[in-house]
Structure 1
Amino acid sequence: MLSADEALVRLKQGNHDFVNHVADSNTLAGLGASAELVQEQRPFAIVLGCSDARVPAEIVFNQGLGDLFVIRVAGNIVAPSQIGSIEFAAEMFGTRLVVVLGHTQCGAIKATLDQLSQPSDQQSPNLRSIVDRVRPSVDALMQTELRHNQPALAAAAVRANVDKSVDQLQHSSSVLENLIQNDGLKIVGAEYSVETGAVEFFDA
C-alpha cells in the first residue's frame, strides 16, 4: 500500500493529467469490469467529496476502478456515517491518505449562506441538517467585511468548510486519531475548481 505522501503525489499527477487531457488506458475510460477487482479492492486514497455532479473524484484525479474509496455527500460534511466509512477503509484496506475535497460553486455552501443572510423555515428538515453542519464553519465569516462581497464570501466559505471537516476527522474519531499518531494516516483538505478542473491541496 502507498504511504500518504506517495498517494498524494499520485493524486496530484492524476489531476495534472486530467487538466491537460492526458489519456491513460488504466483510468476509468479504458477499463471494464476486472476479475482482479472481484476478489478485492486496494484503494490508495480515501476521498470525502461533495455530491455535485461536476466533481466525480475518480475522473478529476484520473484514476481507475478500485483506486479510490469515495464518500460523497452534499457539502462534503462530516457526520457519523462518513466517519465510519473512512474508519472502515483505513482499517480494512490500510489506506493512509484521506482527502476532504470541496469545490467552487458549491450549492450546499450557497444554501447555508442564503440561510444565514435571509433565514427561512421553508427548507426541508433533511436539507436543514446539511446546512446546520456547514453553518459552524462559515458563521464567523458573516461577521467580517466579506459579507459585503458575495463571491469572496463564498470562496472563503468553501475553504473554511473543508478546513472544518478536516479538523473534525482528525479529532472526532479515536480510530483515526490512533492511525494518525501511529500508522502514518494523513488527512488533508483540497479544493476543486469547477472553472479550470485543477485541484489545489491545502498544506500538502
Structure 2
Amino acid sequence: MSEVKNSALTPAEAWKLLQEGNARFVVGETAHPNQNAARRDELVDAQNPFAVIFGCSDSRLAAEIIFDVGLGDVFVVRTAGQVIDPAVLGSLEYSVDVLNVPLIVILGHDSCGAVTAAIDAYRTGDMPPGYIRNLVERITPSVVAARRQDVKDVNSTVVEHVKQTSTRLLEMSRSLSEAVQEGRTAIAGVTYRLAEGKAELVCQHGSV
C-alpha cells in the first residue's frame, strides 16, 4: 500500500458521502460507484480512501454495501464486536497517519452476537471458552457502563459499546487523539439497524 496525499475532504464531507450512500441503500436505489475495471486500474499504484470503517465482523454488516461505496473508497477494519486490539490500533493509525483519512467510523449493529455473549457472561458469571472469552472480556466494560445507566437490552448496550469504543480509541492511541485534536480526522460512532438498513450517528469526537 502506497502513501498518498491528504484527502481533500473534511470529516463532515466524508460523513455526508457515507450518509448519502446509506440513504440510497435504505430505499434500494444503490449506485454501486467505483466498482468497474476503470476504477480497478486507477488504484493499482495507490489508494486514497475518504474514511476508515472499524466495524463488527458480522456477515450482515458489509460496510461497502450498506454505504454504497466502491473500490478504494473506504479502508475497512473488522473484528467481532468491533473489539480493540493492537492490530486494530495499528490499522487505524496507518489509515490516519499514512493514508490521511479524514474520518473514522465505529460501526456497531443490532443483535450483535459478541455483545450478547458479554451480556450473558455478565449476568450468569459463566465465561465462554477459548478466545471467545477474550472478546467477551474486552466488551464487558461497555456492558458495565450500560448497566450503570440501567440499560440491559442488547441493542441499547450496542449503542453504549460504540460510545465506549470511540472513547477508548482516543485513550489508547496518542496518534489518533492528536489527529482528532488537530482536526485532521474525526470519529463518528454509528449503529446499524438490520431491519431498516439504516446507519445512525450516536456519538462523535471532532466535527462531523
| TM-score of the pair, normalised by structure 2 | 0.88
Closer/same/farther in 2, CA of residues 116 and 24 from structure 1, 3 Å limit: same
Supply the AA of the counterpart residue of 1:56.
Answer: A
Residue 75 of structure 1 pairs with residue 90 of structure 2: no
- Which of 123, 127, 135 is residue 132 of structure 2 equivalent to? 127
What is the SS of the residue equivalent to 2:111? Answer: coil
Deviations 1:52-73 (A, max 9, x none): 0000000000000110000010
- Which of 19, 23, 28 is residue 21 of structure 1 equivalent to? 28
Equivalent in the alignment of 1:53: 59
Deviations 1:89-130 (A, max 9, x none): 111111010000000010001111111112225x22310000
Give the CA deviation at 1:134: 0.4
Residue 66 of structure 1 pairs with residue 77 of structure 2: no
Supply the AA of the counterpart residue of 1:128.
Answer: R
Structural RMSD (CA): 1.7
Q: Contact between 1:190 and 1:199, CA under 8 Å: does it hold in 2?
A: yes
What is the SS of the residue equivalent to 2:196? Answer: coil
Closer/same/farther in 2, CA of residues 139 and 94 from structure 1, 3 Å limit: same
Equivalent in the alignment of 1:110: 116
Write the distance in 2 (CA, Å) between the matches of 1:98 and 1:4. 9
Supply the AA of the counterpart residue of 1:164.
Answer: Q
Deviations 1:2-34 (A, max 9, x none): 111110000000000111111325254xx2471
Supply the AA of the counterpart residue of 1:130.
Answer: L
Equivalent in the alignment of 2:141: 136
Write the distance in 1 (CA, Å) between the matches of 2:12 and 2:138. 29
Write the distance in 1 (CA, Å) between the matches of 2:124 and 2:107. 27
Write the distance in 2 (CA, Å) between the matches of 1:145 and 1:44. 37
What is the SS of the residue equivalent to 2:194? Answer: coil
Supply the AA of the counterpart residue of 1:157.
Answer: T
Give the CA deviation at 1:158: 0.2
Q: Contact between 1:27 and 1:62, CA under 8 Å: does it hold in 2?
A: no
Closer/same/farther in 2, CA of residues 140 and 44 from structure 1, 3 Å limit: closer
What is the SS of the residue equivalent to 1:190? Answer: strand
Equivalent in the alignment of 2:105: 99
Closer/same/farther in 2, CA of residues 142 and 40 from structure 1, 3 Å limit: same
Percent of matched pairs sharing the same residue: 33
Q: Contact between 1:77 and 1:130, CA under 8 Å: does it hold in 2?
A: yes
- Equivalenced residues, count: 196
Closer/same/farther in 2, CA of residues 26 and 129 from structure 1, 3 Å limit: same
What is the SS of the residue equivalent to 2:190? Answer: strand
What is the SS of the residue equivalent to 2:29? Answer: coil
Equivalent in the alignment of 1:176: 176
Supply the AA of the counterpart residue of 2:54.
Answer: L
- Which of 32, 46, 58 is residue 40 of structure 1 equivalent to? 46
Q: Which segments of structure 1 move beyond 2 Å, counting only runs of 4 or more?
A: 140-147
Q: Contact between 1:43 and 1:68, CA under 8 Å: does it hold in 2?
A: yes
Q: Which runs of 5+ in 1 are unaligned?
A: 148-152
